[in-house]
Structure 1
Amino acid sequence: MSVNGDSEQQDWPRPSSSWIDKVLFLGTGTSGQVPAIHCVTKPDFGDCAACKDATLNPTGKNRRGCTAAAVVGRSAGDKQESTILIDCGKTFYSNAVVHFPRNGIRELRAVLLTHAHADAILGLDDLRAWTMGGVIQRHVPIYLTQECMTVVEGMFPYLVDRSKSTGGGDVPTLQWNIIDKDKPFTIPASQGRKEVHIQPLPVLHGYFGRSSPFWCLGFRIDSFSYISDCHEIPADTLQLIRGSQAIVMDALKMDRHLSHFSFAQALSFFASFSPPPALGLLTDFTHRIEHYATQEQVDTWRDGMLAAQLAGKAKLSRSVGEGGGTKWWSDIWDERDNEHQMTIRLREKYDPIDDHNISQTASHYIPPIKLSWDGLVVPFDPRRSPSMP
């Protein structure tokens, strides 16, 4: 199911979509990336297995650039596919050079920016490789909020006003489109391709010493919802996500953070979100998240949560989980204790179950939840046509 034939994906469910053909994860790490310099300069990497593997195996799943994704799809009757890039951070170009050719990606129909942090915008200058001399395309449309635009203009004045460029004046040709975080927008039809509808998913990224919250945007494209930097999801945004076939969720590290979901928060989201997607994906990992060991913990957690329901351990509660649904796991799963212990572990051990029939018997179904990695390709099934909310 992936371009590199990775056996890890063979048993993954395939989300359906009326527009998306595939999603390519260009980066799955934080702004610091993986490996981290303070680990690789320690003798024997200290105790960080992720950084050690990322250094010794630079094409492996623990090597992570700044979080970004490319959504590739087409409408019925389109003459060619479209690629919509989500974020253009510090490692965009180096990862695009590797993964775009492997996936037949060349032109960028649009770039969607989630927020004005370096890991989301610092690669904008590299878009010159697409537009200088019109070598690939004449311009690249960028969609961003006014708050993000203000930061970009201060950081890259010559990208907004070409008269401020120096040297040879060889700068990318970018088309700036201001969007409202609370309103859907449309990428217009062009070159024999129909318009594409985009739903922003505003989430709180933290306060960062401000009196007002710092908003970050996730995006929903057809049946795919993507949230990479999240401290809290408002109820209105949860409603916009419902009906998604695939959901990508921020999961920075094991303990709680001021501006990101912990693994426990991300898992609680998928345990409570209803209706559940076909596939849950995690992204934005720090250096201490070793891919294989963490995936095993997540799989064990999911098996245990489903088995506990079959054993009659699910207990309804009036409180609400991160996904906006009923928090039914209070006797099974202690989110705060897991953050404190920096692990993923249920209160009791449960025997593994047969996952083939669990959706028919579990009152709170949890979809398969997988850690993403740089270069991961998630194919979508075009046979069904879910609609936007």
Structure 2
Amino acid sequence: MKVIFLGTGTSTGVPQLGCGCEVCKSTDPRDRRLRTSVRIEIDGKVLMIDCSPDFRQQVLAFPFEKIDGILLTHEHYDHVGGIDDLRPFSVFGPVDLYMEERLENALRERLPYCFSGYKYSGVPNLAVRRISADEDFQIGTVTVTPIRVMHYRLPILGFRIRNFAYLTDVKTMEETELKKLEGIDTLVISALRKTEHISHQTLDQALKIIDMVKPTTSYLTHMSHEIGMHADLERELPDHVLLAYDGLQISV
């Protein structure tokens, strides 16, 4: 199983427009962060988690091939803003979007032309695959376990695939959901910045969840420019906690 980080930044990306801080002016490519998404290659299939506004730019680096499923965490624009750019992939047939009912309703309202019964030429060919936080689902031979997390008051989903789990936009999660992470080797989890935020974990809060789950290796993602320079921050972290960056590839 190969995981490629397509984007590791928060909703504004890094550099943030109009900002002149040292992170936004950094020449270290690891400090340049597109909106958050990952590509997963497993059992001959290509999966993605979320479809960011930077989707087109992110996938140009890969062969043009069928996407076997996109797992959507929630409806915020930085996680679904690239759905219209799925149009070229319609040549392979419908692109399966795995999502909860609430998210489906939001997208049908926001992008009605993508989900209407009559689709004119050029509209992306999408197939909604309804999922629930309480049930595993299959994509071919791949079993996916949804994990409920709270993004302040908004219930959203993370996902476990075998010994890998991906949690973004986390603020809190219940003990029952933590149990779904038992025994994982690799955890990807969001850590927006070091100071408190109403709907996102701080770095310290993310590290506390990592301590509870005890994965072999963890990667931090969905980071803003306020978290600091990549080179400085990686020296502060425990050896088993790493900073993800755009383009990073890992084997699980």
- Give the TM-score of the pair, scaled to structure 2: 0.95
* CA–CA distance in structure 2, aligned partners of residues 106 and 260 of structure 1: 34
* CA–CA distance in structure 1, aligned partners of residues 34 and 177 of structure 2: 27
Once the two structures are TM-superposed, the CA of residue 172 in structure 1 deviates from its matched residue by 1.1
Instruction: Give aligned pairs, total.
Output: 251
Once the two structures are TM-superposed, the CA of residue 82 in structure 1 deviates from its matched residue by 0.8
Q: Equivalent residue of 1:51, what SS?
A: coil
Task: Identify the residue that residue 64 of structure 1 maps to in structure 2.
Answer: 33
Structure 1 residue runs without a partner (length 5+): 1-19, 40-44, 75-80, 190-194, 208-213, 303-366, 381-389
Q: Does 1:378 align with 2:234?
A: no
Once the two structures are TM-superposed, the CA of residue 164 in structure 1 deviates from its matched residue by 6.2
Once the two structures are TM-superposed, the CA of residue 272 in structure 1 deviates from its matched residue by 3.1
Task: Identify the residue that residue 99 of structure 2 maps to in structure 1.
Answer: 144
Residue pair 1:202, 1:215 contacting (<8 A) in 2 also: yes
Task: Identify the residue that residue 116 of structure 1 maps to in structure 2.
Answer: 75
Task: Identify the residue that residue 292 of structure 1 maps to in structure 2.
Answer: 231
* CA–CA distance in structure 2, aligned partners of residues 246 and 106 of structure 1: 26
Once the two structures are TM-superposed, the CA of residue 162 in structure 1 deviates from its matched residue by 5.0
Q: Equivalent residue of 1:128, what SS?
A: helix
Q: Give CA deviations for 1:127-170 in whole Å, capped at 9, x if unaligned.
A: 11111xx2xx11211100011001100111011115265xxx31
Q: Equivalent residue of 1:61, what SS?
A: helix
Task: Identify the residue that residue 49 of structure 2 maps to in structure 1.
Answer: 86
4+ runs of 1 displaced by more than 4 Å?
none
Once the two structures are TM-superposed, the CA of residue 295 in structure 1 deviates from its matched residue by 0.8
Once the two structures are TM-superposed, the CA of residue 106 in structure 1 deviates from its matched residue by 2.6
Task: Identify the residue that residue 195 of structure 2 maps to in structure 1.
Answer: 255
Q: Equivalent residue of 1:150, what SS?
A: helix
* CA–CA distance in structure 2, aligned partners of residues 219 and 202 of structure 1: 9
Task: Identify the residue that residue 34 of structure 1 maps to in structure 2.
Answer: 14
Q: Equivalent residue of 2:31, what SS?
A: coil
* CA–CA distance in structure 1, aligned partners of residues 176 and 220 of structure 2: 22
Higher helix content, 1 or 2 = 1
* CA–CA distance in structure 2, aligned partners of residues 368 and 175 of structure 1: 38
* CA–CA distance in structure 1, aligned partners of residues 180 and 211 of structure 2: 18
* CA–CA distance in structure 1, aligned partners of residues 138 and 232 of structure 2: 41
Task: Identify the residue that residue 203 of structure 1 maps to in structure 2.
Answer: 149
Higher strand content, 1 or 2 = 2
Q: Does 1:175 align with 2:135?
A: no
Residue pair 1:157, 1:164 contacting (<8 A) in 2 also: no
Root-mean-square deviation (Å) = 1.4
Q: Does 1:221 align with 2:161?
A: yes
* CA–CA distance in structure 2, aligned partners of residues 231 and 369 of structure 1: 19
The aligned runs of 1:237-386 (5 Å cut-off) are 237-273=177-213, 276-288=214-226, 289-298=228-237, 302=238, 368-380=240-252
* CA–CA distance in structure 2, aligned partners of residues 376 and 250 of structure 1: 16
Q: Equivalent residue of 1:52, what SS?
A: coil
Once the two structures are TM-superposed, the CA of residue 268 in structure 1 deviates from its matched residue by 1.7
Once the two structures are TM-superposed, the CA of residue 64 in structure 1 deviates from its matched residue by 0.7
The aligned runs of 1:174-193 (5 Å cut-off) are 174-187=126-139, 189=140
* CA–CA distance in structure 2, aligned partners of residues 259 and 182 of structure 1: 23
Structure 2 residue runs without a partner (length 5+): none
Q: Equivalent residue of 2:103, what SS?
A: helix
Q: Equivalent residue of 2:160, what SS?
A: strand
Q: Does 1:23 align with 2:3?
A: yes
State percent identity of aligned pairs: 31
Whichever residue aligns with residue 296 of structure 1, its letter is R
Q: Equivalent residue of 2:60, what SS?
A: helix
Residue pair 1:61, 1:373 contacting (<8 A) in 2 also: yes
Once the two structures are TM-superposed, the CA of residue 107 in structure 1 deviates from its matched residue by 2.1
- Give the TM-score of the pair, scaled to structure 1: 0.62
Q: Give CA deviations for 1:28-86 in whole Å, capped at 9, x if unaligned.
A: 001110111121xxxxx2xx221001xx56xx111111110111111xxxxxx111100
Whichever residue aligns with residue 51 of structure 1, its letter is C
Q: Equivalent residue of 1:84, what SS?
A: strand
* CA–CA distance in structure 2, aligned partners of residues 283 and 23 of structure 1: 13
Whichever residue aligns with residue 142 of structure 2, its letter is V
Q: Equivalent residue of 1:24, what SS?
A: strand
* CA–CA distance in structure 1, aligned partners of residues 161 and 249 of structure 2: 16
Instruction: Name which one, 1 or 2, has greater alpha-carbon Rg.
Output: 1
Task: Identify the residue that residue 49 of structure 1 maps to in structure 2.
Answer: 22
Once the two structures are TM-superposed, the CA of residue 271 in structure 1 deviates from its matched residue by 2.5
